């Protein structure tokens, strides 16, 4: 564990808490993509199957359980409790355009052709693009609530911090996982446009709106 990985995990946790808080406090999931959230639940489910087979540490197990539980909690709030507020008209990104190619790629490019490893690879690839429906939704509506933009900033920062963690681990531990690194870089690049808008608008106290 190094400082980049720890702050990355904290940013990830913070993002999830921010999203749950937004939905709970406003009693609304308006502006949140249910498709991105469904894919995140799928990401955590397929990646953390190793909870059953491998024990790494109490920290690792606890975080995994929190991530899985919170992702299903978010789905419960979005699709059951506050279903009436779900903005499905703007959530039109086609999930199969991501899930199908990602599933194909995880069969073709992986570290080992075994069920658990293919599912892990699938989760890494899917996570890298799972935010696209959310970003697409913002581009359609042209704006995001400030709390939603904080959520996205924390969520994007998490993988960016993981990249620093991988650089650190490469130099100091000789650790290098090509699949995670490439997918993590793709994931971070997808946020760059959002990061720019967030820093130039939200940090100056304005609402996140897209240029016309």
Q: Does 88 bind another protein (CB under 8 A)?
A: no
Q: Does 120 bind another protein (CB under 8 A)?
A: yes
- Measured from the CB atom, the residue of 97 and 176 that comes closer to another protein is 176
Q: Does 86 bind another protein (CB under 8 A)?
A: no
Q: Binding another protein by CB under 8 A: which of 25, 52, 53, 178? A: 53
Contact 43, 126 (CB under 8 A): yes
Helix and strand numbers (H, E) in the chain are 9, 2
- Measured from the CB atom, the residue of 74 and 123 that comes closer to another protein is 123
Q: Binding another protein by CB under 8 A: which of 63, 181, 182, 210? A: 63
Chain residues 5-34 in contact with another protein, contact rule CB under 8 A = 5, 9, 12
Take residue 1 and report the two structure tokens written for it: 């564990």
Any idea what DSSP says for residue 88?
G
Q: Does 114 bind another protein (CB under 8 A)?
A: yes
- Measured from the CB atom, the residue of 87 and 117 that comes closer to another protein is 117
Q: Binding another protein by CB under 8 A: which of 24, 64, 75, 164? A: 64
Neighbouring CB atoms inside 10 A of 206's CB total 11
* Residue whose C-alpha is closest to residue 182's, from 168, 162, 196, 156: 162
d(CA 96, CA 186): 19
Measure the CA dihedral 11/40/96/181, to 10°. 50
- Measured from the CB atom, the residue of 97 and 107 that comes closer to another protein is 107
Take residue 150 and report the two structure tokens written for it: 């904080």
* Residues at the site binding another protein, with contacts judged by CB under 8 A: 5, 9, 12, 47, 50, 53-54, 56, 60, 63-64, 67, 111-112, 114, 116-117, 120, 162, 165, 180
């Amino acid at each position: 564990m190094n400082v980049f990985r720890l702050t990355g995990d904290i940013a990830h946790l913070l993002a999830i808490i921010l999203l749950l808080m937004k939905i709970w406090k406003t009693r609304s999931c308006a502006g949140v993509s249910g498709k991105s959230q469904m894919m995140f639940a799928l990401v955590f489910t397929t990646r953390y199957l190793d909870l059953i087979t491998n024990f790494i540490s109490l920290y690792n197990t606890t975080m995994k359980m929190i991530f899985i539980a919170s992702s299903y909690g978010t789905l419960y709030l979005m699709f059951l409790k506050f279903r009436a507020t779900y903005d499905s008209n703007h959530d039109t990104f086609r999930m199969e355009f991501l899930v199908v190619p990602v599933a194909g790629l995880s069969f073709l490019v992986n570290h080992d052709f075994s069920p658990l490893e293919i599912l892990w690879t699938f989760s890494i690839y899917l996570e890298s693009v799972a935010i696209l429906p959310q970003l697409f939704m913002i581009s359609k509506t042209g704006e995001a609530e400030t709390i939603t933009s904080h959520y996205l900033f924390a969520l994007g920062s998490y993988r960016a911090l993981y990249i620093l963690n991988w650089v650190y681990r490469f130099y100091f531990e000789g650790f290098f996982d090509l699949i995670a690194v490439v997918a993590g870089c793709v994931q971070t690049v997808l946020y760059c446009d959002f990061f720019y808008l967030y820093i130039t608008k939200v940090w100056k106290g304005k609402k996140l709106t897209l240029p016309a």
